[in-house]
Structure 1
Amino acid sequence: MKTLSPGRYRPVTALLLVAFSLTACGEQRVAASDAPSAPPTSSPSTPGTPYTEPGSHDGAPHYRENNAFRQPGEMSPASARDARKEADRIEPVLKRLWGQKKWDPKTVRTALLKLGYEEERIGPKGERLGGTLSVEGMSRRYERDHYIRPEGARVALRVHDDACVTAFLQPTNFQVSTNGPYMETGCFEPPSGH
């Protein structure tokens, strides 16, 4: 058996050191005091990739593009203020109904129409024919081996073409919020998939 002399390892060791040095090229090191204040776009357990889109929930590439139908439209500042005013009118009514355990769509619709809103009418091709208020049952959801429709009501009020008030009441809670309309479903938030 032939053994190698220690002098023969020096070129290999030098080559490995050069290779390790080069892998660090281009890395930018930032001291903690110099670090930006914005949170990272990926969690430590899932490092960012060139395909990670900022603001994506799980680091998925093209998140915003794939979920554009679930992104509400932008509201102008004036429309946002008007939507907030209407939300402030609606919230006490819904709070009272929730306290009375009355969250069925018919009761909710009747109470909100008393505020002077008109029920929204939609034509056969999806065109808006007038009115601004929509009250429906809660969206269906899959539970165990079948779909159910939870008890409660959801509300949409179109304040302007770019501004909505949305709300829901159900046995466990209620909520009122403002948002721009969704691309495919108007004021109501679309379901989680097409």
Structure 2
Amino acid sequence: MRIRLAAALALTLALAAGCARPAEAPAAPDPLGPSPTPRTVPPGDGAPHNAENNAWKVRTELTDAEKAEAQAAADKIKPALEAVRAGNDFGYTATRSALLALGYAADRIQVQSMRDPTVAGAVYAVRIGTRACVIGDVRPERVTAEVRGSAAEFGCLEPYTH
């Protein structure tokens, strides 16, 4: 009697734990064919088409000579804009005037007011040569000047998007 009770208890525990399963019928073939293999998303690329959607932002790789030329320009631009900032003028007109005073042609300069109207300052870009850009901003607390390659879609200064 004890053996039967132990066997019944073991069978009950095995069924409760999911160890014993009823026999399953073989799955019918999918009439639409096999499912496609899921796309592997690279680290940091959240949406499946994020890289494709942002391809328009890809900037040109610069040669060492282009980097050096643009860095020399940045080294000239930043002090001029620091002087503008020191005069407590951070806006579009002062930034553009300072870049023009350095001798850059008007068609090589892009200046925009800050996107957020509550933030004082301006963003700018200066095209150097055919593919290089000096990009930065002028704000009450800082002036930046970075060397980057241009983008085929928009040139130097990336447009605001929503």
Q: Tell me which of 42, 45, 50 is aligned to 1:53.
A: 42
1:5-24 aligned at under 5 Å gives the runs: 6=10
Q: Which residue of 1 aligns with 2:130?
A: 161
- Paired residue secondary structure (2:61): coil
The amino acid across from 1:174 in the alignment is: V
Q: Tell me which of 110, 128, 137 is aligned to 1:134.
A: 110
Structure 2 unmatched ranges of 5 or more? 22-37
Q: Which residue of 1 aligns with 2:8?
A: 4
**Cα distance in 2, alignment partners of residues 7 and 151 from structure 1:** 76
Higher helix share goes to which structure?
2
Q: Which residue of 2 aligns with 1:76?
A: 63
- Paired residue secondary structure (1:4): helix
**Cα distance in 2, alignment partners of residues 103 and 50 from structure 1:** 47
Q: Which residue of 1 aligns with 2:34?
A: none
Cα deviation 1:109-166 (Å, max 9, x = unaligned): 222222221111xxxxxxxxxxx2233322x34xxxxxx4743222211112221111
- Paired residue secondary structure (1:166): strand
Q: What is the number of residues matched between the two proteins?
A: 138
**Could you say which structure has the greater relative contact order, defined with CA pairs below 8 angstroms and 6 or more residues apart?**
2
* 6 and 157 in structure 1: CA distance in 2 versus 1, 3 angstrom threshold: same
**Cα distance in 2, alignment partners of residues 5 and 63 from structure 1:** 56
1:1-194 aligned at under 5 Å gives the runs: 4=8, 6=10, 50-56=39-45, 59-120=46-107, 132-138=108-114, 140-141=115-116, 148=117, 150-193=119-162
**Cα distance in 1, alignment partners of residues 58 and 109 from structure 2:** 21
Cα RMSD after superposing both structures: 3.0
The amino acid across from 2:103 in the alignment is: G
Shift of 1:13: 5.1
Shift of 1:5: 6.5
Q: Does the aligned pair in 2 maintain the 1:52–1:61 contact within 8 Å?
A: yes
**Cα distance in 2, alignment partners of residues 154 and 75 from structure 1:** 22
Task: Tell me the TM-score normalized by structure 1.
Answer: 0.58
- Paired residue secondary structure (1:190): coil
Cα deviation 1:92-112 (Å, max 9, x = unaligned): 111121122111222222222
Q: Does the aligned pair in 2 maintain the 1:53–1:62 contact within 8 Å?
A: no
Structure 1 unmatched ranges of 5 or more? 16-48, 121-131, 142-147
The amino acid across from 1:71 in the alignment is: V
Q: Does the aligned pair in 2 maintain the 1:113–1:119 contact within 8 Å?
A: yes
Shift of 1:55: 4.5
Structure with larger Rg: 2
**Cα distance in 2, alignment partners of residues 118 and 149 from structure 1:** 30
Q: Percent identity?
A: 31
